[in-house]
Structure 1
Amino acid sequence: MFSTTKDFIGKPAPANYVAGLGRGATGFTTRSDIGPAREPQEPTEAQKAAAIKKAEEDDDDERFQDPDNEVGLFSGAPYEEDDEEADKVWEMIDAKMDERRKARREAREKEELEKYRSERPKISQQFADIKRTLSTVNEDAWNAIPEAGNLTGKAKRKQPKMDRFTPVPDSVLAASKEKNQLANTIDATDQSLGGIATPSLDSGMMTDFKQIGEARDKVLGLKLDQLSDSVSGKTNIDPKGYLTDLNSVVLKSDAEIGDLKKARLLLNSVITTNPKHAPGWIAAARLEEVAGKIGTARTIIAKGCDECPKNEDIWLEAARLNTKDNAKIILANAVRHIPHSVKIWLKAVDLETEPNAQKRVLRRALEFIPNSLKLWRAAVNMEDNPADAKVLLSRAVELVPLSVELWLALARLESYANAKKVLNNARKSIPTSHEIWIAAARLEEQQGNEKMVETIIQRAVSVLSESGTVMDRDQWLVEAESCEKTGAIGTCQIIIRATIGLGIEDEDRKKTWMDDAESCIAHGSIECARAIYAHALKVFPEKKSIWRRAAYLEKGHGTKESLEELLQRAVKYCPQAEVLWLMGAKERWLFGDVEGARAIIHQAFTANPNSEQIWLAAVKLESENDEPERAQTLLKNAREKSGTERVWMKSAVFERQLRNFETALSLLDEALAKYPTFDKLWMIKSQIEDMDLNNQAKARETLNKGVKACPKSVTLWILLARLEEKSGMLVKSRSTLEKARYTNPKTAELWVEAIRIENRANNVNAARNLAAKALQECPTSSLLWSEIIYMEPRAQRKSKSVDALKKCEQDPLIVTAVARLFWTERKIDKARDWFQKAAKIDSDQGDVYAWWYRFELQHGSEEQQKFVVEKCIAAEPHHGERWQAVAKNIYNFGKKTDEILKLVAGSLEGQ
């Protein structure tokens, strides 16, 4: 109740303050304040001589120190030049001895320190990942953190303090004793007549405890009677769930009770000063409801209904607070005061349980409010018989002629002829409604009148624009998508043809239409996208990009016939578009029609006689169908007619696949004489010499010539470094990569290869030093960050991954690395989500699918594994460090995408 800390504690004393002076305390003097009792005497001569001798002996205060320390036996001797020279000589000797093993000692100490820190990381490192999560704490969560308490003297405060007891005066005890006594005599001066009126015969001295007990039993019986049901005679208390119900009882604290009292006072003041204010009565009733006094709440809201009978909200609140039967009576009283309130009538309908009773209430409501759309809608929805609903709608459109919804509902229930009449009347009543025009077009489409549909839509566009109704192309697109979802495909396509060009400049048409088609595909409106492409191809028939987009749409969502028909039209308008010819040939080949694919390629040769892509496509077709002789003949003709560097490279690769290594080398020598700067020729030649012929010396010579001819080819430098490492010349491999980095600065691939070489040689410190230098030169390389993340200790990988995400946002390699981190932490759902995110970012990255498939092999079901394989087959990835290494291996020639995926997943290590 009272604070134990005085307010003057810790404050400076006022001026001239003397402690105890106010209560009469006086100071006293001791002998120490006065001094010794005797007078001081002069020392004798003997005492003076002894003091001088003692002072001479105490000239060295540090003579008791350790003689092996800085001060020696001869520290008091004079310090001359030869002593200084000798000290310098010894210092030089000590320095030389320290330098002998300084590098080894520092390396050992550094290694021990790193080992100690890895085994026992600092507190800041252990909680680094937890600290980062503080960035996600919002303001409400931060404010909810409790304040730090004052823990000073906590144990001392818990101990009970010594109480002070003061003796109670005798007068207080005597007064208390007299207060508890009973007086049997009456003073004559108590009344003016000298007597007293006795109210009953009992003297009051005897208390009847039996009557008190009976009264208590009566009160308890009344409470139990209140809990019972007077109609059914069954109690409302569930004996089995009684204890469970007790758990739902909300116990209010003192603060909440105090708040309720304050709110009750404020609201009482509101309804007293302004009794016609309905929100005040509602708030007061809800306050009592929250306080658990439902009876008081009903009383208050009843008074509010009396004070504010024209307010519909207060009647609705009264109905909510009461039982269903009482609510019906309340709403019946409400409609007498407010007969035009739609809310009250709809609430009355909800309270009825029988459909016939609900219909009666709605029809009674429509007598008072015949132009209410909500009441008509509710009444129509209540009708199960279409004939009755038609009668209601016929009356409804007469009373609410501006409701498009009612007109369209009536038209749907009528026959074709009557529906046309209804829609014509609706168009006259609401000339600015586009929904009515679209409904008329859909009606004609259902009857198969396609020409009439186009006429109606074109007329709708012109009439609406003349009437001033603003309908831009985006709104028409939304209506077209809505028609597609309801099955009106013809109306959808005609709307797009009639409105797709509204409000667009000629130079913006192609880009805008392509964006619209992509948006429709994203919304699942394939027919709308097909109609947009069809219209765009009519306007731009020679744009091969539009043909290609339309072909991809048909490939993904159309049929074989529709795709073939589209590609045939495409090559007629764009015969020089090689990609369209190749798409047609590939689709024929995928469906097993090899002769048809050959025929398409033959037609493509006629249109593009020296096309490199078509030559190579013809070779691939023959090689995939086990026709090596025909493929060799095609390649020979391609070298003679086209003779590009890719044709020479494919020729050498094909001969290598057939194990004709000498033929492949001769082709490569001939190709290098023509194209010495094409680095892939050098790579293939070195691989044949190293892997197939096992001639490392020849491969080294080839790669050295290659890096001289193509110094900017990073892959050639890496292959040369790997060859040197494979030969056991690690120093030469390092120097090769240093030359490569000097020639190609800021190239992350070279840094990553150098780091991997050091890791393979177990030079962890050198690898970390290289990683630090690499990050300074290539701070945004995802390949480098993904390598560095897994070089860190497990506790620091998460923080490193956060840094990588900041530097390389939306990169598939970094997202895959984060997914692998969740995998190692057994957060399966998060890992799967991040793998899916990586595949969405770049579907051409094969390594993402390989890691994802490996993850599903360990933690997923057969359906999930099949899902990853299907995604990979649909994407047909071509990039990825691990993916290309497996896919371009000659031993994997001819294997399908799913087989390559499983091989790559099997070659991965770790998680």
Structure 2
Amino acid sequence: MERKAFLDQQPPPGYVAGIGRGATGFVTGGDSGALETLNQFENSDSENENDVSDVGLLAGKTKDDDEAEKIYEEIEKRLSSRRRDNQVTKVEEEDQLENRFTDLKRALTTVSEDQWKQLPEAIDLTKRNKRMRLLEQSRQRFYATPDNLIAAQSGINTNENKKSLIDDLINNDDIELDNQMADIEHNRSLLRSLRNSKPGSASSWIASARLEVKAKNFVMARKFINEGCKRVPTDESIWLESIKIHQNSTDGNKLAKAIVDTALKHKSTSEKLWIKALEFENPGDVNSKRRILMKGIEQLPTNVKLWQLMIELQDDEEDVKKMLTKVIELCPTEWSFWLSLINLSDYSEAKTIINRARKEMKDNHQIWITALKLEERENNTISEDKLIKMLSKALKQLDANTDESRKVTIRQWLDEAAKAEKEGFLLTCKAIIVNCLTESSDFFVEADYYITKKCFQTANYIYEYALSKKPKDIVSWMKFFNIFKSLENFNVQDIYKFYIQAIEFNPEQEVFHLMMAKDKWKIEGDIPGARKILDTALEKFPGKEDVWHAKIKFEVKNKCFENARNTSDKMMESITTPRAYFKHIHLLRFLKLDAIQFCDKGLSEYPEEEKFYLQKGQILHQQGKLEESREVYSIGTNKLPQSINLWLSLSRIDEELKIIIRARSVLDRALLKNPDNDKLWVEKIELERRNGDIIAARQFCSKALRTLNKSPLIWVEHLTLIPKMSQRKNAFLDALNATDNSPIILMNIGLFFWVDGKISKAKSWFERALTNDNTNGDIWGWLYNFYSQHGTKEELQKFLNEFQQHEDSINRGNTWNKVAKRVENLDKSQHDILVETAAHLKRHSTM
């Protein structure tokens, strides 16, 4: 920037910078004469130096100076007058303030005790200089209290504060104290007062010592506790506290042991002190421990704990028996000693001891349970009826000798039964259940509770009892048989006795015949025996369709196809239901016999039954008559437009005929009739994928997802159409949320992780899917593939064992049902269906 020329010039005379903006500078225009005089003074010769007082700034007073002094004097007078007024006002205000507080103090005489208790403490949230402020507050925590209020209170508040502090310190060793000086000093003051007023109270000394421990003042803590031991030597708690405090010091155990010895001289009847003395002995010095315990028992001959410790130190069984014999005389109501002696005695001695115990403790139910266990253990020929009668007698005696408040509840008795089961006393378990349950008991609730506890025999006996009271309850029988067969070592012969009972009580029910035949076949492997049971059932229930189908299935699975054909032909002579027709046609197709006539007969009698259209179309398709097959499906869709299977069959045969446009048209018409069916949408998406139009497939999938957002099948299609695994992860969460954690989604997430190489994650998701739904065969199939490839032989075998337990209930899964319903698989086992399902899933996976 160019420098202005005037900046290098001399300023004019009298110039003051900024005067145009209101600045006055250091010199005004009225002071110009004085400025000149000052300049003259500064420039004067040395000869004038001795006479400088007569000129310039040091010259004598002028007229202006006199006027200025008068002005200053007036200002001073005004200021003095104002100060005098302020002093008077301040004195008056102080007098008024003093009078006001005098009134307030006088008003305190009317304050009640409750109002005084409710006075709040001052709160400070600034946290600045907290330590000094708290200390200052503690010093200033004094109030001018009227005499009548002090008299009314009589020290109650102080005592309550002391008591609260002592309770905290005595009852809670781990109490966290505020380690601020103000609180510590305040608590010390309270405890000091208490010690002075009640020096014989052990609690005040213990509280004082614990306060010092919390304050890290261990020397003072030991001083207080030692003084307390001198003043209250017969209190065990103060000695125990002294042991605890000294144990943490140098040579702690040595000091503590000496303290215990001293304590026992003053308090020899303290169980806790004797046990403490035992703790300080060398763990390997059994003799010293025995001596201490014997001294303790001499002082406390009926102390249960000391006797228990003494018995534990004995090595010889005979010594233990002798000791127990003495102990039950000294402690006749302690059941544990009686039980120990019973367990160490032979059968006859044990019975004698039990009878003695029963006389000593007439209200103890454990005695009778032990008696039952003894009989079951020692007498192999004893019957369950005898044990039931024994306990029935016991219950009457217990009821007569037990207060109502101490009587054993039903659940407590059942817990004893469950305990007996776990100990192997099954007859005792049953005897307890038979005696404690009543007809008003909720058998299902009780049985289910013990199933969750893995006490299956207890649950089984509960149902057995329920059946004796309600023998015509079919649901109870079914649950009973299921639980019975889940027992680890159940006797297969026993279950037939229960089947016979169920049949006798329910002669009109064919289900028990079928269950018995199946168990005879599956569990025992007795094929002739199972066939005999089924033949008997057919004679008894010739009009029951389930019996016919069971017999046909039994013969087919055992490769007795001629028997199956003859049975099916006989069925069709008397039963012509749609199901009977369908099963008969299916068998004929399996045997490669002509079944078209039965399809036509079925259609003539049941024109609204989709299965006959499907069967006839499939037969014609197998014969290579595609156009005729298509015609059957077309007629079926016109007749039954709500049949999804017929629409799908019609579309697929058009696709097989390479008429893709017509296949699309079929699905479009199907969706017009059934717009909310997800299987049709999936087929439409899959059709485009099979024909290479991924863009169209995605478009249809997006459209389907908007209208069927909760369908797991649509979400699976959506996930498979996402190209990258990284993009799928957010979609996984959306799919789970939309389908409420559908097992199908869980299974497919596992499959995605498997394809991505995340083996452990894949396993986790597959197992979650199976846990959510163990009836879905597709999940079983994928897990079979997974364990076959990545599992050990043991893991695969465990998986197959689990499958065997659930195979009868597996009836879901698109691929599983497709495989299971194939005509050629009619004689296949469930394991064979599993293997084929797994192979089909692997071949046709879209991942």
Shift in alpha-carbon separation, 1:338–1:271, aligned structure 2, 3 A: farther
CA shift digits 1:290-336 (9 cap, x unpaired): xxxxxx85x56643531443422442343355554444334333434
Could you tell me which of 258, 280, 290 is aligned with 1:329?
Answer: 258
Shift, 1:785, TM fit:
3.4
**TM-score, length-normalised on structure 1?**
0.65
Q: Is the 8 A contact 1:319 1:331 kept in 2?
A: no
Could you tell me which of 403, 427, 433 is aligned with 1:490?
Answer: 427
Shift, 1:494, TM fit:
0.9
Could you tell me which of 274, 284, 289 is aligned with 1:345?
Answer: 274
Structure 1 CA distance for aligned equivalents of residues 333 and 734 of structure 2: 61
Could you tell me which of 491, 501, 504 is aligned with 2:438?
Answer: 501
The structure richer in helix per residue is 2
Shift in alpha-carbon separation, 1:304–1:497, aligned structure 2, 3 A: same
Could you tell me which of 225, 229, 248 is aligned with 1:305?
Answer: 225
Residue in structure 2 matched with residue 192 of structure 1 by the alignment: none
Residue in structure 1 matched with residue 513 of structure 2 by the alignment: 581
**Farther off after superposition, 589-598 or 869-878:** 589-598
Q: Is the 8 A contact 1:301 1:318 kept in 2?
A: no
CA shift digits 1:775-825 (9 cap, x unpaired): 444343333334434334423433333333334446432332343355456
Name stretches of at least 5 consecutive residues in structure 1 with no aligned partner: 1-25, 34-258, 289-295
Q: Partner of 1:541: helix, strand, or coil?
A: coil
Q: Is the 8 A contact 1:682 1:703 kept in 2?
A: yes
Residue in structure 2 matched with residue 628 of structure 1 by the alignment: 561
Q: Partner of 1:274: helix, strand, or coil?
A: helix
Shift, 1:280, TM fit:
5.6
Matched AA of 1:887: A
Q: Is the 8 A contact 1:281 1:300 kept in 2?
A: yes
Residue in structure 1 matched with residue 735 of structure 2 by the alignment: 804
Matched AA of 2:584: S
Shift in alpha-carbon separation, 1:274–1:678, aligned structure 2, 3 A: same
Structure 2 CA distance for aligned equivalents of residues 266 and 832 of structure 1: 60
Q: Partner of 1:755: helix, strand, or coil?
A: helix
CA shift digits 1:606-626 (9 cap, x unpaired): 110122122122222222333
Residue in structure 1 matched with residue 642 of structure 2 by the alignment: 712
Matched AA of 2:725: R
Residue in structure 2 matched with residue 667 of structure 1 by the alignment: 598
Q: Is the 8 A contact 1:304 1:314 kept in 2?
A: no
Residue in structure 2 matched with residue 875 of structure 1 by the alignment: 806
Residue in structure 1 matched with residue 392 of structure 2 by the alignment: 458
Q: Is the 8 A contact 1:441 1:452 kept in 2?
A: no
Residue in structure 2 matched with residue 733 of structure 1 by the alignment: 663
Structure 2 CA distance for aligned equivalents of residues 619 and 896 of structure 1: 15
Residue in structure 1 matched with residue 286 of structure 2 by the alignment: 355
Shift in alpha-carbon separation, 1:342–1:694, aligned structure 2, 3 A: farther
**Farther off after superposition, 816-825 or 526-535:** 816-825
Shift in alpha-carbon separation, 1:351–1:657, aligned structure 2, 3 A: same
Could you tell me which of 608, 611, 629 is aligned with 2:541?
Answer: 608
Could you tell me which of 348, 356, 362 is aligned with 1:431?
Answer: 362
Residue in structure 1 matched with residue 450 of structure 2 by the alignment: 520
Could you tell me which of 774, 778, 796 is aligned with 1:843?
Answer: 774
Q: Is the 8 A contact 1:737 1:750 kept in 2?
A: yes
Name stretches of at least 5 consecutive residues in structure 2 with no aligned partner: 1-15, 24-175, 193-203, 230-234
Shift in alpha-carbon separation, 1:894–1:681, aligned structure 2, 3 A: same
Structure 2 CA distance for aligned equivalents of residues 906 and 427 of structure 1: 68
Shift, 1:847, TM fit:
0.8
Q: Is the 8 A contact 2:208 2:221 kept in 1?
A: no
CA shift digits 1:682-708 (9 cap, x unpaired): 222222222x12222112111112222
Q: Does residue 619 of structure 2 align to residue 688 of structure 1?
A: yes
Shift, 1:478, TM fit:
0.9
Structure 2 CA distance for aligned equivalents of residues 897 and 821 of structure 1: 27
Residue in structure 1 matched with residue 191 of structure 2 by the alignment: 274
How much identity, in percent, do the aligned residues show? 29
Residue in structure 2 matched with residue 637 of structure 1 by the alignment: 570
Structure 2 CA distance for aligned equivalents of residues 400 and 514 of structure 1: 42
Q: Is the 8 A contact 1:264 1:284 kept in 2?
A: no
Residue in structure 1 matched with residue 58 of structure 2 by the alignment: none
Could you tell me which of 487, 492, 501 is aligned with 1:569?
Answer: 501
Matched AA of 2:191: N
Could you tell me which of 630, 646, 663 is aligned with 1:700?
Answer: 630
Q: Does residue 250 of structure 2 align to residue 318 of structure 1?
A: no
Shift in alpha-carbon separation, 1:803–1:599, aligned structure 2, 3 A: same
Shift, 1:403, TM fit:
2.7
Q: Is the 8 A contact 1:480 1:492 kept in 2?
A: yes
Could you tell me which of 372, 394, 414 is aligned with 1:477?
Answer: 414
Matched AA of 2:317: P
Q: Is the 8 A contact 1:442 1:453 kept in 2?
A: no
Q: Is the 8 A contact 2:388 2:431 kept in 1?
A: yes
Shift in alpha-carbon separation, 1:29–1:795, aligned structure 2, 3 A: farther
Query: Once superposed, what is the RMSD of the aligned Cα atoms?
Result: 3.3
Q: Is the 8 A contact 2:725 2:756 kept in 1?
A: no
Structure 2 CA distance for aligned equivalents of residues 337 and 725 of structure 1: 103
Structure 2 CA distance for aligned equivalents of residues 280 and 656 of structure 1: 96
CA shift digits 1:210-255 (9 cap, x unpaired): xxxxxxxxxxxxxxxxxxxxxxxxxxxxxxxxxxxxxxxxxxxxxx
Q: How does 1:104-253 map to 2 (within 5 A)?
A: none
Shift, 1:850, TM fit:
1.0
Shift, 1:676, TM fit:
1.8
Matched AA of 1:306: N
Shift in alpha-carbon separation, 1:418–1:268, aligned structure 2, 3 A: farther
Shift in alpha-carbon separation, 1:696–1:317, aligned structure 2, 3 A: farther
Structure 2 CA distance for aligned equivalents of residues 737 and 854 of structure 1: 33
Shift, 1:604, TM fit:
0.4
Q: Is the 8 A contact 1:798 1:821 kept in 2?
A: no
Q: Partner of 2:595: helix, strand, or coil?
A: helix
Shift, 1:286, TM fit:
7.0
Q: Is the 8 A contact 1:839 1:848 kept in 2?
A: yes
Matched AA of 1:714: I
Structure 2 CA distance for aligned equivalents of residues 385 and 890 of structure 1: 75
Matched AA of 2:607: P
Q: Does residue 528 of structure 2 align to residue 595 of structure 1?
A: yes
Q: Is the 8 A contact 2:654 2:662 kept in 1?
A: yes
Shift in alpha-carbon separation, 1:318–1:767, aligned structure 2, 3 A: farther
**Farther off after superposition, 473-482 or 759-768:** 759-768
Structure 2 CA distance for aligned equivalents of residues 521 and 472 of structure 1: 20
CA shift digits 1:176-216 (9 cap, x unpaired): xxxxxxxxxxxxxxxxxxxxxxxxxxxxxxxxxxxxxxxxx
